[in-house]
Amino acid sequence: MTSVLILNGPNLNLLGTRQPEVYGTTTLDDIETLCKNHAEVTGMTVEFHQSNHEGTLVDNIHNARGRHDGIILNAGAYTHTSIALMDAISSVELPAIELHLSNVHARETFRHQSYIARVAVGLICGFGARGYVLAMDAMKDHLEH
């Protein structure tokens, strides 16, 4: 059974109330439920985490080694700044998908830069909460082919 770590970075715990015009009104708990339901339907297992701390996210990525087949990462603002997260993904040698609720390329130019994209198999952005399900399907497909 495909096992995926879904990891969420800073400020994503505030989804639902945080800039709903940009990120929608779905909470992170709703997204976790969406992912767990989709996992059940598609025969996957998911572990779901959020942290506001870069080091904790690095630890979560390290812990995925040997336990999961891939990582779906919405690193929030750390996407645009964190060499540590990029190195962590390279270090564990697991396929990673970069994910964003918003279309970062239609936003401020500082959001166009991504350290995660350099080590990711692909990127999904702009589809809101549905992007999590799309990323799960993309990861399953990537692992099977």
Which positions lie near ligand DQA, rule CB under 6 A?
11, 74, 76-77, 79, 100-102, 104, 111
Pairing of strands 122-125, 96-100: parallel
Residue whose structure tokens are 């964190």: 82
For ligand DQA, which is the closer residue by CB, 2 or 26?
Answer: 26
For ligand DQA, which is the closer residue by CB, 69 or 98?
Answer: 98
Residue whose structure tokens are 């998911």: 46
Would residue 142 show up in a list of annotated catalytic residues for this protein? no
Would residue 105 show up in a list of annotated catalytic residues for this protein? no
- The CA distance from 64 to 91, in Å, is 11
Instruction: Give the shortest CB-66-to-ligand DQA separation in angstroms.
Output: 27
Q: Residue 7: which H helix or E strand, with range?
A: strand 2-8
Catalytic residue among 23, 78, 115, 132: 23
Catalytic residue among 68, 78, 100, 132: 100
Instruction: Give the shortest CB-15-to-ligand DQA separation in angstroms.
Output: 9
Other Cβ atoms less than 10 A from the Cβ of 55: the count is 10
Of 143, 139, 133, 12, the residue nearest 75 (C-alpha): 12
Instruction: Give the shortest CB-93-to-ligand DQA separation in angstroms.
Output: 24
| Closest residue to ligand DQA, based on beta-carbon distance | 76
For ligand DQA, which is the closer residue by CB, 65 or 130?
Answer: 130
Cα torsion angle, 40, 31, 136, 83, sign: negative
Residues serving a catalytic function are 23, 100
